[in-house]
């Protein structure tokens, strides 16, 4: 009985030792294999893989369904296998193109002020530019990495504009004369007290006091209460009519008979700005 018990005890001891050795061997094998793993880093994801001498990185990437584009950056030749403990960084690269339009506001290169008529105005010649840029933006793993201008186009427009000032000399309105309707017309002139004018030219058809800047028009051609601009004459307001003012004719209000003479039957360009209840 004692002998049997002795045998059982020794067997259990031997079994325990053998089992311990087996467990220790497995642990050492696991630790050894862990020390030979390689790592593939894609963005914030880390893939732990076992390298094999004859298996290329490309095959491993396909196994883990890691898709690549032609623009992506990889820190290892995908045709070659990985080495133990090697880290491979995969950077996904995307590109986007965007168009930007920059307006360089009107720059005055010449100007002329007209102060004699109903209100102060300034004729300005200037340049306006529009810069269109096509920018390619490069993103690494979704974050902006770099940007490059791949195309740049500058368009320049020269034109005249008319600036209207109020009584406080502040800008009230700006008219782009390149977009305004214009008509070639024949001009004459009249003055306060002109015996050939309606009511001796003292009161306009709309009831305004006759003064320089009041303009008689054919309402069928230019509506009354229309703001006008005539180069050389200045700002005008269609506030009067006349029996002889028919068709493409304008009668320009001036201060005296001396001012009348230079405008008699003169070819002028009339810019039609807009209708307004006030001049």
The enclosing domain of 57 has a CATH number of 3.10.20.90
Strands laid side by side in the 121-140 sheet? 93-114, 121-140, 143-165, 171-176
The whole-angstrom distance between residue 38's C-alpha and the CA centroid of its chain comes to 48
Say what the pLDDT of residue 11 is. Answer: 52
In a domain, 22, yes or no: no
What distance in Å separates the CA atoms of residue 60 and residue 41, rounded to the nearest whole number?
A: 13
Domain, as residue range, for 80: 36-91
Q: How confident is the model at residue 36 (pLDDT cuts 50, 70, 90)?
A: confident
The token duo for 238 is: 């269609």
pLDDT of 1 higher than 80: no
- What is the distance between the alpha carbons of residues 70 and 261, in angstroms, rounded to a whole number? 80
- Which of the listed residues 129, 149, 172 is the one where a domain comes to its end? 172
What's the mean pLDDT in 159-183? 96
Confidence of residue 197 (pLDDT cuts 50, 70, 90): confident
- Average the pLDDT over 245-272 and give the result: 96
In a domain, 28, yes or no: no
Q: pLDDT tens-digit profile of 84-126?
A: 999 999 999 999 999 999 999 999 999 999 999 999 999 999 9
Average pLDDT of span 184-203? 89
Nearest by Cα to 215 from 202, 200, 204, 199? 204
Same domain, 212 and 250: yes
Q: Identify which of 97, 94, 90 has the alpha carbon closest to the alpha carbon of residue 144.
A: 94
Q: Determine the straight-line distance between the first and last CA of the chain, rounded to whole angstroms.
A: 133
pLDDT of residue 14: 58
Has residue 220 been placed in a domain?
yes
């Amino acid at each position: 009985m004692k002998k049997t018990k002795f045998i059982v005890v020794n067997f259990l001891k031997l079994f325990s030792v053998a089992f311990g050795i087996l467990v220790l061997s497995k642990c050492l094998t696991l630790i050894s294999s862990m020390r030979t793993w390689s790592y593939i880093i894609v963005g914030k994801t880390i893939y732990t893989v076992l390298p094999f001498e004859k298996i290329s990185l490309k095959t491993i990437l396909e196994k883990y369904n890691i898709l690549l584009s032609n623009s992506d950056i990889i820190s290892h030749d995908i045709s070659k296998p990985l080495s133990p403990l090697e880290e491979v960084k995969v950077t996904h690269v995307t590109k986007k193109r965007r168009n930007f339009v920059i307006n360089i506001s009107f720059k005055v290169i010449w100007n002329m002020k007209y102060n004699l008529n109903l209100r102060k105005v300034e004729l300005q010649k200037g340049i306006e530019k529009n810069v269109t840029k096509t920018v390619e933006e490069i993103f690494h793993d979704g974050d902006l990495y770099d940007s490059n201008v791949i195309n740049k186009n500058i368009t320049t427009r020269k034109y005249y504009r008319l600036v209207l000032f109020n009584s406080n000399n502040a800008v009230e309105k700006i008219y782009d004369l390149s977009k305004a309707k214009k008509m070639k017309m024949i001009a004459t002139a009249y003055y306060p007290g002109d015996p050939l004018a309606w009511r001796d030219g003292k009161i306009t058809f709309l009831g305004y006091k006759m003064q320089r800047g009041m303009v008689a028009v054919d309402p069928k051609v230019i509506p009354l209460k229309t703001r006008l601009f005539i180069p050389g004459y200045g700002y005008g307001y269609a506030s009067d009519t006349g029996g002889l003012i028919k068709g493409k004719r304008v009668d320009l209000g001036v201060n005296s008979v001396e001012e009348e003479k230079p405008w008699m039957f003169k070819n002028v360009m009339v810019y039609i700005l807009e209708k307004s209840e006030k001049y």
